[in-house]
Amino acid sequence: MSQMTSSAAELPLIEIKEAYLDFAGNRVLNNINLTLNPNEIVTVIGPNGAGKSSLVKLAVGLQTPSQGSVKRKTKLRIGYMPQKLIIDQQLPLNTQRFLSLCGNKAALENAVARLDIHCLLKTPIQKLSGGEMQRVLLARALMGKPELLVLDEPAQGVDVIGQAELYHLIGQLRKELGCGVLMVSHDLHIVMAQTDQVLCLNKHICCHGAPESVSKHPEYLQLFGKKAAADIAIYTHNHDHQHDMHGDVIGDSHHNCQHDHT
């Protein structure tokens, strides 16, 4: 993959070279090459069963490749947000205790304020809704001051407004922390404003590059259809303003966006 000029001097966070992954004779990932640099957001998109989660697991070291190599920067601090977290009902655990296991009080308060989850602190972790859980998991990932954020379908169970906000927040966090981000999504149109590199996966890498170029790539169009590509044109200009968690427009927009967002 192409290097970002700003980070060319720094070592990549993750470097996957010619990696293959087989499960019981089935090839799940086929010849994957991926370089993720600090301060870079890479989004993996692909249809169901394309091996997106497997690629994430390979990147963070939960899977070892059947062939090829996965190199991580030594002692890489990873903030990982899994697709789902199912916690045994027999474990009495509220959000506050859950978060406090991962860092000190200052880090906790900072993350709680950043994600606006103060009202969830006393809630048992098993009772959080999908969207609430995603925010709590993101807060947890932040507390470790990660060099790399890995998010497996972060917008699952979040409504469209919440999704845009979540992705915007991820983009902001990248700037604040200077961390790399690897995320999985199946909505290219929602993530593309926040993404540097898109990797279109269907067991092998169909195409990769900047979001706009991927959205016009024949293999992408074949996988997702022309409708998806048309959606992108609609959505790309839609990220000039931001919503907070409650859906209100935030005033600090970096462009003068005058159109009505509703």
**In the bound complex, what is the minimum distance in angstroms from residue 13's beta carbon to another protein?**
13
Tokens representing 135?
């925010």
Task: Give the residue with the Cβ less far from another protein, 56 or 164.
Answer: 56
Report the distance separating Cα 59 and Cα 241, nearest Å: 32
Residue 158's Cβ-count burial label (10 Å; 0-12, 13-18, 19+) is: buried
Q: Is 64 in the site for another protein (CB under 8 A)?
A: no
- In a 3-state reduction of DSSP, which class is residue 80? strand
**In the bound complex, what is the minimum distance in angstroms from residue 101's beta carbon to another protein?**
6
Q: With CB under 8 A as the contact rule, which of the stretches 86-94, 169-177, 216-224, 245-253 interacts with another protein?
A: 86-94
Tokens representing 103?
């860092």
Q: Is 145 in the site for another protein (CB under 8 A)?
A: no
Q: Is 210 in the site for another protein (CB under 8 A)?
A: no
Report the distance separating Cα 88 and Cα 28, nearest Å: 30
Q: Is 97 in the site for another protein (CB under 8 A)?
A: yes
* Contact pick of 4, 102, 161, 228 for another protein (by CB under 8 A): 102
**In the bound complex, what is the minimum distance in angstroms from residue 144's beta carbon to another protein?**
7
* Contact pick of 19, 55, 58, 60 for another protein (by CB under 8 A): 60
CB atoms within 10 A of CB 214: 25
Q: In this structure, are residues 147 and 76 in contact, taking their beta carbons and an 8 Å threshold? A: yes
Q: In this structure, are residues 35 and 3 in contact, taking their beta carbons and an 8 Å threshold? A: yes
Q: Is 93 in the site for another protein (CB under 8 A)?
A: yes
Indicate the residue type of 253. S
Q: Is 150 in the site for another protein (CB under 8 A)?
A: yes
Which residue ranges make up the site for another protein (CB under 8 A)? 60-62, 78, 80, 82, 85, 87-88, 90-94, 97-98, 101-102, 144, 150
